[in-house]
Structure 1
């Protein structure tokens, strides 16, 4: 079927109000490589689907640029929808980046964006020195350019409580000195590269760089700019690059909204090695030597790198378990070990059922998963029965597997820290807990046997990045959907009116790390209000909900409050906590536009809820056990 025939079929699905079907089909045919007219047609079809029918998360984007972006904004909306976002885009007047930012009466601040995107290109970077300039002069000029950009970030922050996205400079191919430019610091190419590095070094919390220079390289620098359209209508990149820029930036926006994928589920035979282990045996599979063998090693090396940066790896394979695990244990060229795999499922079950079970064991949504399988039949089965799971098409040649996976930009992130390094360990330990739980006949005995200890502390600079990350990425256990950057949390939490608490959990199987945070506001009417409450789903149903509720009540009493209040703002992803407040003893206190209000009166007792978790308090000198 041609792309135009597919688009006609999708149009018919929309006319029948089969919106989910149309959305799935658009996802199947979407490619950043389509020519601009096809990108436009796909975007217009997506706009015909009501966002509320798909449960997309709204995001307000202010777009400031010194180039023409009307055509790009249209296509960006399409790619963002595929990533789970419904964009509301406000565009500043053409070529008024500084004026718009510095005028706090401008439309930017009236719009109140979630993200302000400074879509600058190399033409917006005022940076040059005379040929032959010394290193000192070069450094001063680069620093001045970076300072100017940082000042814009600060100005936005003064007038707007939003995240900021800023492009790196796309280093041009047109030069004067040719290859010699890379040898000296004063050439335009070297200056712009130094500027880009300077932005990264000076980037504060709440500011993300969009690597436009990298996207230009992906597309091909020689064809990145069509000078005809720059001179005619100030289009900064070729029309043919529109889909790629939109797809890559939509992935970043999705990560900023906490919607990036978290887990890759991989097949084994002809996916992680060549051949069928059950038929060919250890000696017969292709891994290590030869072109195919090296390609499969490359795939494994890439997956291991994903795991080391925080992506959860799991396996779903149609195999006997002993055969499936043999290469991990015995083959000298395996790059992955069993310790890299959080959940290993090798059986003869339907792969969709295995994947559903993996999601349940990990306590993450199906829309957090990516399924990698060489077999088109298995891919289509999973797409059919689990449409929320991302299933990339794989080419026939394993040499191209990594490129096909990278192209989809599933695993964008906005931060990286110790929690990310340890994530595979956390989830592997969780699987061990699940197996351990199966030996008990009642939940209470199981929870007691875990010997759980919770660490509790005030929000401090050390934990601030992780708490901001948890708030940004949590969707299922997130009662209000609020999003705060590090800078916003630092400004908000003062421990006199607004209080921040973080919680960690450890047990006999290991440390779960920092798994929950609450932001609490003391109000004038003797109320302690729960502004934000998030928790990692990997610790659900172990008593942490009750433990944290008790901590909140304890703080309320300490502050002289007579009640605790909270909101539940329903979303497509947080139905998990719809009944949380009722379960924790709160009473309904009204409803407004779908948001339910809850209240817990302390003067009627509000006794502590039963939990098997002991408490340790975090202090400057370490952790002190208190109960």
Structure 2
């Protein structure tokens, strides 16, 4: 990277940065951030216009200049280009409580309000008591809560990121009686609890808990930097905080992961199965065996929350299955894995096959292996796969797997928890399909039912998640946070319709969404999304046919749909053409006029349907449709 920077070619080769940062230690990543922070984002975007480039406004208390390179580096690790704007020193109250401030005028996707203990300690009188600290804490919390309220109104499409406040010993030690110290500790922790609960009141708010970072050994501050430079959080803690924010940026850009593909020898257990046999591998006995078992339990914990585990191992299949089924010390079993691929094929080919059979992009995969050769090969052949390095010390496997929050979501839904079981049902569907000579016969016997209905309040997080995590059947790739979806659902001119499906093998749950907007006699399809699990069953045709029929029944003259190409949604480029739409030239109010007000690039395509000939839903679909709240009995099936 240094060579590219010195040659002035770093912007031209920006897509390589993610690979160059892979497996660097934290210090090296931060040094790279100092180089990347010097780049002009516009120069990068001119060379690579498809690069996701979230706008980030940083405000807060204290000197925060060290945060910029850390944020830029962490964004780059995920293939993103962070455009970071730093506010003036200690301007957070004005920035967030004034709706016409420069922060709001910039319309950042993320606003980071970074606070520290000095925001309280700096306003204590001399001498001070616990009562004084309680008063200042209450005042600051009131300001933060007011800031969250103003932000929710002034920036409905953005995310406000707050953080908890580290409690420095220097402050507690000024109280010489232990009872007062304990009381201050209670008040401080109660204040942090209030900060952590703010996302329950405002869905636009995320609070980063700094306690786990401090527990991992990061220093809260460098006292000299705090006193002399007013940098009240250490550079190490800011770097850890930036890593957490990087996870949020990745989620918002649609970079969520679903599949956890694990090597076996040296990763899930110790030793090489083919050399030492089932009795010789380290699974649960001894201190190393206990470390591997701890890792196995975390794999099961992730699977219980919707992660899809798989095995990719260079081994013979039968011995692997025997160990997974019978080894008494193993904390995972073969049924815990969606697929077990133990063979001698290159691992990148196995990973691609897993993604293909699950109807997922390989970008949905996290690959964990202790071999630097295997990791390097996968990075080269499948650059979209997230590669996690684990070393020879199994006690660190859990930390290595979890440190980048690959499977984090804003809110866990029932759909997430049910995902592994539904993919297992999908295998049964595939076996069922193999018994038919034609797709038509299979679909007739599959018994697909589809329900199209307005999004209920409890479905808002799931609809948001679909926009954030669905890449292949996502016609505009517009990403919406829960607050965005809620605003659309409440708008009198918009509709947020959910698509649920089921069949003879089980309930697929909420699998898609259609975002509609009415403007006079025109219905705009601002986005159409469908889970890759249910492609090619006629569900999308049934939903669109229902939308078209309802538009005509309510007096519309046409329906307009948009397609914005991305690296992953090419398979739906002709969806509107296949559905009776025709391409049209841009008209006022059509292109770039989505619910978020974003302007799409010149590659955007616009299509319209004149509603003269509305196709019926596919005959094999049992359809239940209710497109708006209505009195009982006003449903069509």
Fold shared by both chains (TM-score > 0.5):
yes
Whole-Å separation in 2 of the counterparts to 1:386 and 1:16: 22
- Residue aligning to 2:566: 571
Q: Are 1:23 and 2:23 an aligned pair?
A: no
Kept in 2: contact 1:616–1:624 (CA 8 A): no
Whole-Å separation in 1 of the counterparts to 2:29 and 2:59: 25
Q: Are 1:522 and 2:518 an aligned pair?
A: yes
- Residue aligning to 1:595: 604
Indicate the larger mover: 317-326 or 546-555.
317-326
Kept in 2: contact 1:504–1:516 (CA 8 A): yes
Cα separation, partners in 2 of 1:99 and 1:179, compared to 1, 3 Å: closer
Deviation at 1:278, TM superposition (A): 4.3
Quick one: which of 409, 416, 439 aligns to 2:412? 416
Kept in 2: contact 1:7–1:42 (CA 8 A): no
Kept in 2: contact 1:447–1:612 (CA 8 A): yes
Q: Are 1:605 and 2:631 an aligned pair?
A: no
Whole-Å separation in 2 of the counterparts to 1:481 and 1:615: 26
- Residue aligning to 1:335: 331
Whole-Å separation in 1 of the counterparts to 2:634 and 2:273: 51
Counting only pairs closer than 5 Å after superposition, residues 525-536 of structure 1 correspond to structure 2 as 526-536=521-531
- Residue aligning to 1:218: 216
Whole-Å separation in 2 of the counterparts to 1:520 and 1:472: 18
Q: Are 1:476 and 2:472 an aligned pair?
A: yes
- Residue aligning to 1:352: 348
- Residue aligning to 1:58: 53
- Residue aligning to 2:35: 41
Counting only pairs closer than 5 Å after superposition, residues 259-338 of structure 1 correspond to structure 2 as 259-338=255-334
- Residue aligning to 2:550: 555
Kept in 1: contact 2:284–2:293 (CA 8 A): yes
SS of alignment partner, residue 90 of structure 1: strand
Counting only pairs closer than 5 Å after superposition, residues 607-622 of structure 1 correspond to structure 2 as 607-610=615-618, 612-616=620-624
- Residue aligning to 1:486: 482
Kept in 2: contact 1:172–1:189 (CA 8 A): no
Counting only pairs closer than 5 Å after superposition, residues 432-471 of structure 1 correspond to structure 2 as 432-471=428-467
- Residue aligning to 1:205: 203
SS of alignment partner, residue 392 of structure 1: strand
**How much is the aligned-residue C-alpha RMSD, in angstroms?**
3.3
Cα separation, partners in 2 of 1:289 and 1:373, compared to 1, 3 Å: same
Q: Are 1:248 and 2:257 an aligned pair?
A: no
Deviation at 1:183, TM superposition (A): 7.3
Indicate the larger mover: 41-50 or 505-514.
41-50
Whole-Å separation in 2 of the counterparts to 1:315 and 1:194: 44
- Residue aligning to 1:370: 366
Q: Which runs of 5+ in 2 are unaligned?
A: 592-601
Instruction: Give the TM-score of the pair, scaled to structure 2.
Output: 0.87
Deviation at 1:15, TM superposition (A): 7.0
Kept in 1: contact 2:338–2:420 (CA 8 A): yes
SS of alignment partner, residue 537 of structure 2: coil
Kept in 2: contact 1:119–1:166 (CA 8 A): yes
Q: Are 1:117 and 2:112 an aligned pair?
A: yes
Deviation at 1:608, TM superposition (A): 2.1
Quick one: which of 218, 223, 226 aligns to 1:227? 223
- Give per-residue Cα distances to partners, 1:569-619, cap 9 Å, x unaligned: 2223332322221122211112562211111110x2122253522123579
Counting only pairs closer than 5 Å after superposition, residues 74-153 of structure 1 correspond to structure 2 as 74-125=69-120, 145-153=140-148
Kept in 2: contact 1:26–1:42 (CA 8 A): no
SS of alignment partner, residue 463 of structure 1: helix
Kept in 2: contact 1:315–1:346 (CA 8 A): yes
SS of alignment partner, residue 585 of structure 2: strand
Quick one: which of 19, 26, 32 aligns to 1:32? 26
Deviation at 1:345, TM superposition (A): 1.8
Deviation at 1:265, TM superposition (A): 0.4
Whole-Å separation in 1 of the counterparts to 2:328 and 2:101: 63
- Residue aligning to 1:159: 154
Instruction: Give the TM-score of the pair, scaled to structure 1.
Output: 0.89
Deviation at 1:124, TM superposition (A): 2.9
Indicate the larger mover: 593-602 or 49-58.
49-58
Kept in 1: contact 2:17–2:79 (CA 8 A): no
Kept in 1: contact 2:36–2:69 (CA 8 A): no
Cα separation, partners in 2 of 1:621 and 1:381, compared to 1, 3 Å: farther
SS of alignment partner, residue 576 of structure 1: helix
Whole-Å separation in 2 of the counterparts to 1:441 and 1:462: 41
Kept in 1: contact 2:470–2:530 (CA 8 A): yes
Kept in 2: contact 1:343–1:428 (CA 8 A): no
Deviation at 1:549, TM superposition (A): 0.7
Cα separation, partners in 2 of 1:279 and 1:508, compared to 1, 3 Å: farther
Deviation at 1:393, TM superposition (A): 2.1
Cα separation, partners in 2 of 1:241 and 1:431, compared to 1, 3 Å: same
SS of alignment partner, residue 475 of structure 2: coil
